[in-house]
A = this chain, B = another copy of it.
C-alpha cells in the first residue's frame, strides 16, 4: 500500500488532511467524509484530494466518500505517526524556547498529538538546568546518550547559523534521521538523513512577491490563490 516515491508536494498535504480528520468527532459527524468536505477544510480542491489519496490505496467509495476512521489510521501509518515520535530541540535561545513551549502546549491541548518534545539541549553552561515547561535543558555532551535513552527520532535545530553544521553533525552522530533546521545556513547531511529547512526570511521574501504595489502605484496585481503549508 505504501508508495515509496510519492511526490513531496503530495506528502506535504497529507498532514493537512490528517489534521482535519483528527478534529472530527465521528459521533456527531457520521463515519464518512466526502472529498469536497475534506478538501474544503484542508484548503485543497476535491480533485486534488482524490488524486493525492489514490496514491496510497483505494480508500474512497463513489457516493459515500472516505471512511474517516480508516483514512485516519492509514494516514497516520503512511506518515509514521502511528506511534508518538519523540523530538529534541537543540538550542535554548529565544526561538528554541518558543518552539519548545509551542510543542508542549499542543501536546497538552490535543490528546492524540503525535509529537512528544522530550529534551532540549544547549552548549551554553548558563542555560543547562533551566526548565522549559517541565523539560530541562541538557548539555550537548549528553546528546548521544539521551537520544538513545529517550528514543528521540527527530531534532529541531534552533541555533545560530555559525554553529548549525556542528550541531547537525552531532545529531546525525547520535542517530537522529529527521532534522528540521531553523538556522539560515546551508547544511550537509548524509543521504540516509532527511533535512528540512524552515527560514522565516525566505518565507517573508516569498510572501513579498505577492504584495500589491505601493498605494497609488498600481503596476502589480495581487494574486487570488491562497497557499497553504
In the complex formed, the residue of B with least CB distance to A12 is: B206
How far, in angstroms, from A28 to B110 measured CA to CA in the complex? 53
Contact with B along A77-103 (1 / 0, CB 8 A): 011110001010000011101110111
CB within 8 A of A194: which of B98, B178, B201, B210?
B210
A55 at the interface (CB under 8 A from B): no
**A47 beta carbon closer than 8 Å to chain B:** no
Q: From A15-23, A30-38, A62-70, A118-126, give the one contacting chain B.
A: A15-23
Q: Which residues of B contact A202 (CB under 8 A)?
A: 12, 15-16, 19, 229
Q: For A42, give the chain B residue with the smallest CB separation.
A: B186
A212 to B178, CA, bound (A): 9
Judged by a CB distance under 8 angstroms, whether A142 is at the interface is no
Kindly state whether residue A115 has any CB partner on chain B within 8 Å.
yes
Cα-based distance from A4 to B224 in the complex (angstroms): 12
Measured as residues with beta carbon below 8 angstroms from the partner, the interface class of chain A is 35 or more
Task: Judge whether A115 and B201 touch: CB under 8 Å.
Answer: yes
* A198: interface (CB < 8 Å): yes
Number of copies of this kind of chain in the complex: 2
Cα–Cα, bound, A79→B204 (Å): 10
Quick check: is A199 within 8 A (CB to CB) of the other chain? yes
Asked if A51 is at the interface of the complex by the 8 Å CB criterion, the answer is no
Contact of A210 among B2, B43, B178 (CB under 8 A): B178
Q: Is the CB of B4 within 8 A of A212?
A: no
Write out the residue numbers on chain B whose beta carbons fall within 8 Å of the beta carbon of A153.
208, 211
B102 pairs with A200, CB closer than 8 A = yes
In Å, the complex CA distance between A206 and B16 comes to 9
Q: For chain A residues 145-171, which have a beta carbon within 8 Å of chain B?
A: 153-154, 156
> In the bound complex, do residue A79 and residue B18 qualify as a contact, i.e. CB atoms below 8 Å apart?
no
Residues in B with CB closer than 8 Å to A4 are 221
CB within 8 Å for A79 and B209 given contacts A106-B201, A115-B201? yes
Q: Which residue in B87, B95, B177, B223 is a CB contact (below 8 Å) of A204?
A: B87
Closest 5 CB pairs of A and B: A15-B205, A194-B210, A98-B98, A94-B98, A95-B98
- Of the A-B pairs whose beta carbons lie under 8 Å apart in the complex, a sample of 8, sorted by A's number, is A41-B186, A94-B94, A103-B201, A177-B210, A195-B226, A196-B206, A196-B227, A202-B229
